[in-house]
Amino acid sequence: MATNKELDIPFELLERNESETNDASRSETPPIPEELNLLPLREVVIFPMLVAPLGVGRESSVRLVHDSLQGGNRLIAVTCMKDPTIEQPTINDIYTIGTVVAVQMMAQVPEGIRLIVQGLRRFELVELVQTTPYMRARIRLIPEPEVPKEDELEVEALRRSVSQLFQRIVQLSPDLPDEMQSLPSRVQGPGALADLIAAQLPRISFQERQEILEIIPIKQRLHRLLELLSREVQLLELSNRLQSEVVQELGKTQREYYLREHLRQIQKELGEGDERTQDIEELRQKIESSGMPEEARKEAERELNRLSRMNPAVPEYNVTRTYLEWMTSMPWQVSTQDNLDIKHVKEVLDADHYGLDKVKDRILEYLSVRKFKTEGPVRQPILCFVGPPGVGKTSLGRSIAHALGRKFVRISLGGVHDEAEIRGHRRTYIGALPGQIIQGIRRAETNNPVFMLDEIDKVQADFRGDPSSALLEVLDPEQNCTFRDHYLDVPFDLSKVLFIATANVLDTILPPLRDRMEIIEIAGYTEEEKIAIAQAHLIPKQTKEHGIQNKIHFTPESVQLIVRGYTREAGVRNLEREIAAVCRKATRDFAEGRYKTRKITPRVVEEYLGAPRFENEEAMERVERPGVATGLAWTPMGGDILFVEATAMPITSNRPSTLIVTGQVGDVMRESAQAALSYVRAHAAEIGAPPDFYEKHDIHIHIPAGAIPKDGPSAGITMTVALASLFSGRPTRPLMAMTGEVTLSGKVLPVGGIKEKVLGARRAGIKTVLLPERNRKDLYEDLKPEIRKEMHFHFIKDVKQALNLALEPPRKHSAEHTETANSREKEAPGQKRIRKVEPIAPSMPA
C-alpha cells in the first residue's frame, strides 16, 4: 500500500493541475470499468482532477501497480485507511468514498516504486471481489453535481470567500510559495476549486480531507472548506504573533547576555573576582526556581539588579543579599500532603492524649471536609485552646501536627510587647529580620504547617506597638492570604497554615482578636482522668527516663493516693513531678542495693513523699462555727474552693455600724458583699436574727488567702449564707459549697466556669453543691454522668431556697446566743468537739 504521509505536490504539477482542471470539461475521461484494483493509502487523500505523487513499498502493493499497468488502462481505485497503523486492512478499515486515478509516471527506486497519478472521478465502494494477493473491488462512480440556479449567488460568494482566505493562508504560511496566491483565479469550477484548496492546505488532517472528499453537494463542500480555512487563518495569525513576541524576547535576552558578558570581562579586568558574579547568577537561578508569585518575583529581580550594580564594599550590599536569600528560601509553593485517613488520625490523637474529646472532634471534622472538598481552597480553622496550665494544650498541638502529617512550628507569645516580633522590621533598620510568623514558616520549609501561638493571652502592649493588633491580620482567614511582612514587603499566603493558639484566660485577649478564633475550652481533668493519664502516659515516661522500666510497678491504689493526697490541680504537671519523685527515690534504693524491684503501694508512697498534704477535713472543720460558708471559685489554674468568714464586733461608741471586707477583693466582690448584707438585714426576721443585731455590731467579712486577688459576682450567695449563718447562729452544713450571683430581691443569677468549679469542689472532698437553676444545662453538658452521680447538686432560684439547704436546722434559742455567735466554743485541752452532720433534703436529680 502507499506510504505517503504528507501530500507534497511540486508547483509545476499544480500548474498542470490548473490546465487539466480547466480543460476537464473539454477532455474526455477514459472509460472506467466497474471493477478496479483497490490500493489503500496511509494518511493520503487524492482529489479528482489533481496530480499527486505516491510512494509504494509493500510487495502486494507493488504487484497491484504492475498488474494494473499491464492491463493497459493504467487505472487504479485509491481510498484512505481509517487507521494508518493497520498492516493488513479489510473493507471495514478503509473509507468507502475514494478516487479513481490514472498512473501518469512510474519510477523504480530502491525502496519500491514512485508514482505520479492524476485523480479522475469520485467513486463509492460497492463490494470487494478479491482480497489476495491484493484487493479488487466493484465500484460506483459519483458524478460531479451541478449548482442549482437558486444557489448560484451563494455559491459564488462562498467561492470568493474561500479564495480570499486561501490567499491569506499563503501569505501567512511559510510552507506555501507565494505563487500559489494566483491558483484560485485560474480555476473556474467551484467544485474543482474546493478540491484543489483542500488538497493544498498543509496543516489539516487526513480525516478532514476525507470529509471534504465525501461531501458531494458543492454548496455544502464550500461551507465546510470555509470553516477549515477560517480556523487555519486564526491559527496562523496567532502563531505568527507568538513567534514575533518570542523573537523580540529572545533578542532582549541575547542583548542582556551580551552586555552581561561584557560586564563580566570588564569586572575581571578591574580585578573584581568572579565569585560575586557567580553569587548573583546563583541568586538569579534560585529566584527562577523558587515558584514565588509575580509580585514577589518582580521585587526580587529588582533587588537583584540593584545588587549586580552595587559595590560589595557598600554596607547595603549585605543587606540586599540577605533579603534575597530570605526571599528565595521561603516555601512559596511547597506543601505537605494531609493524612486524610480519619480512623488513623483518631487513633494517633487518642494514643497521645486522654480525653479532650471536643478538640479531637473538631480536628476530625476539619479532615472530613478536606476529604470531600477536593477542589478549590479549604478554609483552615483558627483554633484557640483555653484552659488551666498542665492540661496538655501545647502537646496537643504537636500531636495534631503528627496526626495530620504536617510540620509543627511553635512560638511563645508570653511577654512579647513589640509589634515587629509579628510583622518584622523594615529593611531600613540595622539587623532587620522578618517577624516570628515568617521565620516559623521558613523553619518549617512548607507553607501549610501546624503553627502554634503559645500563651496568646500574655501578649503585652507598650510604646513599641501592640502585637495583638498585628495578629488580627494573621488570624483572619479573609486577610491572611495576603499577609505582608514589613521585611519581605511582599504578600505571603498564610491561608494554608493551621493556626492553633493557647491561653489560660480569655479576658486579657483583645476582643477583635478573640472574635477571629474558634474558642475551645479545655477544663481540668477529673480524678479518674488523672489516674488514667498517669497509668498510660506519665508513669511509663518517668520510668523510662529514670531507666527503671522493669524494676518498678505502681498499684492503682498508690496512683489514686498520689492524685488525691499530693496534688490538687486542674492539670497533671504536679502529678508528674510527684511520680518523678517516687521514681527518683526508688532509683536510689536500687542503686544502693536495698531492692532489686519495688512494688509501689500506698505505704511506699507515704514513705517516699511523706504524709499527704491535702485532706478533706478542712472543708469539714472550717464551717463548724456560725459565720463561715464554703464557696466555689474559678481561677486560671482551674476550679477551687474558698471560705467566706463573717464576724460581728460590738460597737462601743455611739456611731453607725460599718461593713469591712478584706482579703484583696475587687470592686465587684465588694459590691456583692454589700448586696448580701442588705438582703440579710431586710430579711432578718425570716432568717432568725435579732432585729437590732446589725445596729449593735460592726460586720467584718474576710476571704482567706489574702495574697491572691479575688473578684467577680459569683461569691454573692456564699457571702449571703455566711452573713445569715452569723446573724442566726446556725452553722452551714459541712462538705457543702455554693456559687451564684445574688440580687437585692433575692434572686440567684447564673455564673460561669461551672465545670471547673465542680471539679475543684470534687478534688476538695465536697459532696453537695448549690448551683443557680439556670446553670443546670451547663452541668449536664460539661460533666460526665459518673461525676454527677458521685455528688449531690441542688439548683436554686432564690436565696431562701439556698438558706434552707445550706444552714443547719435552728437549735433552741437562748437570749444570749447573739452575743456568743461570734465567740468560739471552749474545748477541754486535748479534746476535739465532734459535730453531728444533720441530714439534708434529697437533692434534685443531676
CA distance 311 to 325: 18
Q: Are strands 659-662 and 697-702 parallel, antiparallel or unpaired?
A: parallel
For residue 393, say whether it is annotated as part of any ligand binding site: yes
Express as a percent the part of the chain with pLDDT over 90. Answer: 14
Report pLDDT for 769: 92
Residue 637 has pLDDT above 80, yes or no: no
Q: How far apart are CA 66 and CA 60, in angstroms?
A: 10
Question: What's the CA gap between 796 and 769, in Å, rounded?
Answer: 10
Specify whether the CB–CB gap between 809 and 836 falls below 8 A: no
Residues 741 and 763 in one domain: yes
593 among annotated binding-site residues: no
User: What CATH number corresponds to the domain at position 55?
Assistant: 2.30.130.40
**Within-domain flag for 499:** yes
| Range 809-835 average pLDDT | 45
In the listed set 571, 591, 609, which residue is the last one of a domain according to the structure? 609
Looking at per-residue confidence, does 556 or 352 come out higher?
Answer: 556
390 labeled binding residue: yes
Taking the alpha carbons of 562, 568, 570, 571 in that order, is the dihedral positive or negative? negative
Q: In CATH, what number is assigned to the domain containing residue 161?
A: 1.20.58.1480
Q: Which amino acid is at 512?
A: P
Q: What mean pLDDT comes out for the span 415-433?
A: 84
What are the cell numbers at 244? 514575533
Domain end, chosen from 239, 255, 288, is at 239
Q: Is the pLDDT of residue 97 over 60?
A: yes
Is the Cβ–Cβ distance between 754 and 778 less than 8 Å?
yes
Catalytic residues: 714, 757
Give the separation between CA 543 and CA 590, rounded to whole angstroms. 13
The pLDDT of residue 21 is above 80 = no
User: How many domains does the chain contain in total?
Assistant: 6
Residue 425 near residue 433 (C-beta atoms within 8 A): yes
Instruction: Tell me the per-residue pLDDT of 132-190, one tens digit each, with 9 for 90 and over.
Output: 888 899 999 988 888 888 888 888 888 888 888 888 888 888 778 878 888 787 877 88
842 inside domain: no
Q: What is the mean pLDDT of the chain?
A: 82
| CA 541 to the chain's CA centroid | 32
- What's the mean pLDDT in 330-352? 86
- Specify whether 457 is located in the same domain as 584: no
Instruction: Please tell me whether 530 is known to bind a ligand.
Output: no
Lowest mean pLDDT among 374-388, 394-408, 611-625: 611-625
Tell whether 592 and 707 lie within a shared domain.
Answer: no
More confident residue, 570 or 32: 32
Strand partners, 698: 649
CB 561 within 8 A of CB 600: no
* Tens digit of each residue's pLDDT (9 = 90 or more) over 709-738: 878 888 899 999 999 999 888 899 888 999
704 is in an annotated binding site: no
Same domain, 201 and 80: no
Q: Please list, residue by residue across 548-562, b when 16 or more beta carbons sit within 10 angstroms of its beta carbon and e when fewer do.
A: beebbebeeebbbbb
**Phi, psi (5° rounding) for residue 513?**
-70, -40
Residue 587 banded pLDDT, cuts 50, 70, 90: very high
Judge whether 388 is annotated as a binding position: yes
| Cα–Cα distance measured from residue 399 to residue 404, given in angstroms and rounded to the nearest whole number | 9
Same domain (yes/no): 728, 628: yes
Report in angstroms the alpha-carbon separations of 446 from 152, 292, 377, 406, 490.
70, 13, 17, 9, 18
Spatial separation of the C-alpha atoms in residues 103 and 38, rounded to whole Å:
13
Quote the pLDDT of residue 3. Answer: 54
Helix (H, G, I), strand (E, B) or coil at 523: coil
Burial label for 386, CB within 10 Å (0-12, 13-18, 19+), is: buried
pLDDT at 88 over 80: yes
State yes or no: pLDDT of 254 exceeds 80.
no
The last residue of one of the domains, among 553, 583, 609, is: 609
Examine the domain organization and report whether 279 and 362 are in the same domain: no
Q: Is the pLDDT of residue 824 over 60?
A: no
Residue 684 lies in a domain: yes
Range of the domain at 495: 342-521
Q: What is the pLDDT of residue 835?
A: 46
pLDDT, residue 617, reads 58
Q: Is residue 272's pLDDT more than 70? A: no
* Residue 844 counted as domain residue: no
Contacts of 170 (CB under 8 A, 6+ apart): 176, 177, 178, 180, 181
Query: What pLDDT does 123 receive?
Result: 92
Average pLDDT over residues 206-225: 87
Instruction: State how far the Cα of 68 lies from the Cα of 66, in Å rounded to an integer.
Output: 5
**Helix count and strand count (H, E) for the chain:** 31, 24
Confirm whether 246 is domain-assigned: no
Better-scored residue on pLDDT, 564 or 44: 44
Residue 676 domain flag: yes
Adjacent-strand bridge partners of 66? none
95 and 234 belong to one structural domain: no
Q: Which of residues 233 and 824 earns the better pLDDT score?
A: 233
Please check whether residue 97 is in contact with residue 45, taking contact to mean a CB–CB distance below 8 angstroms.
no
Beta strands in 330-414 (DSSP E): 383-386, 408-412
Confidence of residue 818 (pLDDT cuts 50, 70, 90): very low
Kindly report which listed range (8-12, 73-77, 291-295, 707-711) carries the lowest average pLDDT score. Answer: 8-12
In DSSP notation, 407-424 reads: -EEEEE-TT---THHHH-
What is the C-alpha to C-alpha distance for residues 503 and 595, in angstroms, rounded to an integer?
44
- The one-letter amino acid at 267: Q
166: helix, strand or coil? helix
Q: Indicate the pTM of the whole model.
A: 0.56
Q: Are residues 369 and 473 in the same domain?
A: yes
392 is in an annotated binding site: yes
Q: For position 268, what pLDDT does the model report?
A: 67
Residue 777 lies in a domain: yes
Q: How far apart are CA 676 and CA 706, in angstroms?
A: 21
Average pLDDT over residues 671-694: 87
Residues 484 and 365 in one domain: yes
Indicate the pLDDT class of residue 618, thresholds 50, 70 and 90: low
Q: Is the pLDDT of residue 11 over 50?
A: no
Label residue 311 by pLDDT band (50, 70, 90): confident
Q: Is the pLDDT of residue 62 over 70?
A: yes
- Residue 742's pLDDT is 93
CA dist 393 and 454 (Å) reads: 9
741 band by pLDDT with thresholds 50, 70 and 90: very high
782 lies in some domain: yes
Q: With 90 as the cut, is the pLDDT of residue 740 above it?
A: yes
C-alpha cell at 625: 462555727
Calculate the dihedral angle through the C-alpha atoms of 792, 797, 802, 805, rounding to the nearest 10 degrees.
Answer: -40
3-state secondary structure 224-235: HHHHHHHHHHHH
Do 311 and 423 reside in the same domain of the chain?
Answer: no
Task: Say if residue 67 is in the same domain as residue 164.
Answer: no
- Angle between the N-to-C axes of helices 190-200 and 206-214, in degrees from 0 to 180, rounded to the nearest 10: 170
Q: How far apart are CA 787 and CA 531, in angstroms?
A: 15
CA–CA separation, 412 and 789 (whole Å): 40
CA dihedral 441, 444, 450, 454 (to 10 degrees): -70
* Predicted local distance difference test score (pLDDT) of residue 23: 47
User: Do 536 and 514 reside in the same domain of the chain?
Assistant: no
Does 571 appear as a known binding residue?
no
Q: What is the CATH number of the domain that holds 515?
A: 3.40.50.300
Give the pLDDT confidence of 505-514 residue by residue, as tens digits: 888 888 888 8
The β-bridge relationship of strands 736-738 and 768-772 is: parallel
- Residue type for position 256: E
How much is the average pLDDT of 814-829?
A: 40
